[in-house]
Structure formats: structure tokens, C-alpha cells
Amino acid sequence: MLGTLSLLFSLSLRNIVRYRRRNFFLFAAIAIAVGGTTLSNSLIRGWQVDMLQTAVSGLSGHIKMQAPGFADDPSLQHAFSAGTSIALDPQLPIVGIAKRINLPAVISSERETRGVAMIGIDPADEGISLYRDFEIAGETLTGAEDGRLLIGKALAETLQTKVGRRVVTIVEGADGKSLERGYRIAGVFDAPMEWSETMLAFTGLEALQQALGTQRLVDPITELSVVLQSDEDRPQAAAQLVRQHPQLVVKDWRQMQPQIAEMVDLVDATMVIWFFLIMSALTFGLVNTLIATVMQRTQELGMLRALGMNKQLLLIQVVMECVGIMIVGVVAGLLLGVVLVFGLGDGIDLSAFSESVEAFGMSTLLKPVLTVEDLLLYGGLSVLVGLFASFFPARRALKISPLMAMNR
């Protein structure tokens, strides 16, 4: 049996080489289709990764913990202790933890007034959030005790203020009363996501605690964000934190940002559907070409039948040829796709469509992402398509008889 299959493989390989001019166009068509699909799907995958990173590196992390009632009444009445311990299974590695006070506030300059989120942070902990990506004009916050303010470029333009100027904020204090306080602007940040430039104002966590009159509270915070090494660990980590801290509300980024979660889930299905649409069009042309090839080889195939090759062996030979052509084209296409992806290594600048792009939870720089798993998926699906396409020419070949070959 092995000897027969080896012979059929040799015959198939010989036929592929013998009709190399005709097969070259098939190889090229398959390679272009697979390469183009690999590139387009890598951009879609990049979109998925970008949305996930944007969701996690906002202020939510993979998991956020808050006191009950804070979502409906964001105030220090629903604060909890910054000493809350986080102890996860060692198999669920934590990248970082950020503790913050995040309260609604009003900020005013000499000319304008706007509503913002007043956020007290320890800059040393914010390497896990969008804070790390800020390009800052002026000075950054030096630590949790820094009582200056860091605002976004868009907000500074709206307030018609700049670095070194003073602004006034109004926020609810620990006693429930409105607290007015002046701040000097330490720096103005430029962020990848424009909404953060218009909505966020940062100051030191300890400085904000003192300004809000929290002396009677024990190191209060309103949120604790946890970033994990992998999003795959998120469900298990969240379940552990719920068991450890039943007095707190534990939510993951999917619960806090359901629209982005739905779009992330749609990406995998979109990639497979897009791949099959392209490959279906390719299959139509491939089937027609292979059937025409079988018709041109009626005499050759009929002679093989006359020499004793049964229908099963003839079927195997034709399928081998078709799949062989597909494999060569797919390998060339995957290599082409890899080259195209690396050619776009710096990404595509979408800043001209910033408003629309940010509405989908994306940054304005779209980078293609190609994984080994995706390459194996595309290769495997392509070979399956080739196997399916080989059925039709093989079926046509089975109808060829020695008598038909003699009449050619």
C-alpha cells in the first residue's frame, strides 16, 4: 500500500511540474488570495488587540474593585481602605495594582468651566494604565504627595490655560460638602485617546486625601484596579477576588465596557467569515481550472485506466495533485502575508478619523498582529478548501474510460 501511495505521489508531483506554466497562474492566484487575506486579517486581529489593550489600560484594568453603591453615588461615602490586600494564586501572575480616588469634579480657569473626573494617583503605580503613554509638556507628578495638577491638552485649550497657571476645582469632600481648592498646573498631557485629554485631571493620591478632609478615614480610596499578565486569567482571578472580598464589588473590564467586549468577540468570527468569502471565490476559479485540466488529460487518464489503475487510485492521484497545488500556493501566500505584515510594522495612522476610531475603542494607530496560531489556522483551512475543490475534478476524472482515451 505504501509503495502504491509513493508511486501516486511521484506521478502527482511529476504532473504538477510538467504543467508548471499553467500551474504557475494557479499558484499565483492562491498566493495572492492567501497573502491578502493574511494581511487583512492581521489588521482585524490588530484591531481586536488594540481594543482589548485600550479597555484594560484605561482606568479599569482587567479587574476593578469598588465599594457597593459607588457606581450610583460616586463619593467618599463609598470609599474603602487602600490597605485592602490582593492575594491571587501564583498561577495567575499580576502585572500591577493601582489604587485611586476617582471623583466627579468641576474645574474652572479665569475664562471657562468644565466637568472632569478628579483622580488621585500614585504615579509609581500607573505604569499599568493609560498614564504611562502620556506625552507631558511641563512636569509630571513626582509622587502620591504631589499636590499639583496634570490635565489634558484638549482640556487646557478649552479652559484657555497652560502650564504654571492656576485653576480652581470643586469636589465633594469627606463630609459630603462641596470643597473648593486651587491647584497649579504642573503639566499638560497629550494622550492617544482624545477623550482622556478632555475628561481627566490627575493629582497625587495622598495630597487629594488630605485636601478632601479624609483624616477620619483610614487611607481611603474609591477604586482598585488589577492588571494581569493574560486576559485568559481574568475569570479565575475575578472569582478569587470575589471570595476574598465579599464586601466589595468586583467587576472585570467586560462587565464595565460591554460594547467593546461584544466587538472583541465578533473579531474571531469576522476573520473566519472573511477568509471563507475570499477562499470561496478562489475555489470557484480553482474548480473550473482543474476540471479543464482533467479534460485536457483525458487520453493520459484513460491510458492509466487501461493499464489497470482502478477508480480509487485514480481518485487519490487527482486529489493529490489538487491538494499539492493548493499547498504550494498556500505556503507562498503565507510567506507573502508575513512580508506584507512586517512591511506595515509601524502601523496605519488613523488620526484623520480619530472621532470615529475612538468610538470603537481604538487608538489612532492600527498595527497588524499576526500569530503562529493564525498562520496555522489559515494554512489548515486553505488545505481543506483545496481538498473540497479537488472533489469536482476527481469526480470528472472517474468518468473517463479507456474507450474515451482511444477516441481522442
In the chain, where the domains are located: 2-55+261-406, 68-247
What is residue 182's predicted lDDT score, i.e. its pLDDT?
93
Do the beta carbons of residue 229 and residue 94 sit within 8 Å? yes
What is residue 175's predicted lDDT score, i.e. its pLDDT?
81
Q: How many residues does the chain have?
A: 408
Of the candidates 189, 69, 71, the residue with the CA atom closest to the CA atom of residue 121: 189
Task: Report how far apart, in Å, the C-alpha atoms of 117 and of each of 72, 100, 198 are.
Answer: 15, 12, 10
Cα separation, 200 vs 151, in Å, equals 7
SS3 call for 229: coil
Q: Between 10 and 46, where is the model more confident?
A: 46
What is residue 41's predicted lDDT score, i.e. its pLDDT?
84
Q: Between 195 and 110, where is the model more confident?
A: 110
pLDDT per position as a tens digit, 294-322: 666 666 666 666 656 666 776 777 777 77
**Cell numbers that stand for 384 in this block:** 481543506
End-to-end CA distance of the chain: 32
Does residue 22 surpass a pLDDT of 90? no
What is the percent of the chain with per-residue pLDDT over 70, rounded to a whole number?
81
pLDDT per position as a tens digit, 235-292: 999 999 999 889 999 999 999 988 888 888 887 778 778 777 877 777 777 777 777 7
Cα separation, 205 vs 211, in Å, equals 10
Q: What's this model's pTM, rounded to 2 decimal places?
A: 0.74
Do the beta carbons of residue 81 and residue 393 sit within 8 Å? no
pLDDT per position as a tens digit, 170-217: 999 888 888 999 999 999 998 877 778 899 999 999 999 988 886 667
